[in-house]
Amino acid sequence: MNYRARLERIWDAMAKDGIAMTMFEDCEARRDTTIRWLTGQPGDALLFLSADRKSLLVPWDMIIAGKRATADEIVPYNDFDRIASKAIRAAAERFALPKGAKVELPSATPYPAFAAFASALEGFEPICREKGTADLTLSMRAVKDADEIAILRKATEITNEIIDMLIREAVAGRLNTEADAALLIELESRKRGCEGTGFETLSAGPARSFGIHAFPPWGAGPFATRGLSILDFGLCYEGYNTDITLTFARAPDPKQEEMLRLIEKAAAIAQGELLVGNRSAAVAAKIDEFFAGHGRRMAHGLGHGVGLDVHERPFLRNNPSADMELKSGMVVAVEPALYDPDLGGCRMENDFLITDSGPEMLTRSRVVRI
Name the site residues for a second copy (rule: CB under 8 A): 28-30, 42-44, 60-64, 66, 68, 78, 81-83, 105, 107-114, 128-130, 132, 178-179, 182-183, 186-187, 190-191, 193-196, 200, 210-213, 215-220, 236, 297, 299-300, 311, 319, 321, 339, 341
What is the rounded distance in angstroms from the CA atom of residue 190 to the CA atom of residue 186? 7
Using the minimum distance from each CB to a second copy, give the nearer residue, 26 or 353: 26
Q: How far is the CB of 178 from a second copy (least distance, A)?
A: 8
Using the minimum distance from each CB to a second copy, give the nearer residue, 16 or 111: 111
Q: How far is the CB of 356 from a second copy (least distance, A)?
A: 32
Q: What residues contact 140, with CB distance under 8 A and at least 6 apart? A: 6, 9, 10
Q: How far is the CB of 355 from a second copy (least distance, A)?
A: 28
Using the minimum distance from each CB to a second copy, give the nearer residue, 231 or 354: 231
Using the minimum distance from each CB to a second copy, give the nearer residue, 301 or 359: 301
Using the minimum distance from each CB to a second copy, give the nearer residue, 136 or 370: 136
The helix (H) or strand (E) run that includes residue 167 is helix 146-171
Q: What residues contact 77, with CB distance under 8 A and at least 6 apart? A: 44, 45, 46, 58, 59, 60, 87
Q: How far is the CB of 161 from a second copy (least distance, A)?
A: 15
Amino acid 326 reads: L
DSSP assignment string, 241-298? E--EEEEEEES--HHHHHHHHHHHHHHHHHHHH--TT-BHHHHHHHHHHHHHHTT---
Using the minimum distance from each CB to a second copy, give the nearer residue, 186 or 264: 186
Q: What is the CA radius of gyration of the chain?
A: 23
What is the rounded distance in angstroms from the CA atom of residue 181 to the CA atom of residue 142? 31
The helix (H) or strand (E) run that includes residue 228 is strand 227-233
Q: How far is the CB of 340 from a second copy (least distance, A)?
A: 9
Amino acid 343 reads: L
How would you label 61-76 residue by residue, b for 16+ Cβ within 10 Å and e otherwise?
bbeebeeebbbeebbe
Q: How far is the CB of 328 from a second copy (least distance, A)?
A: 27
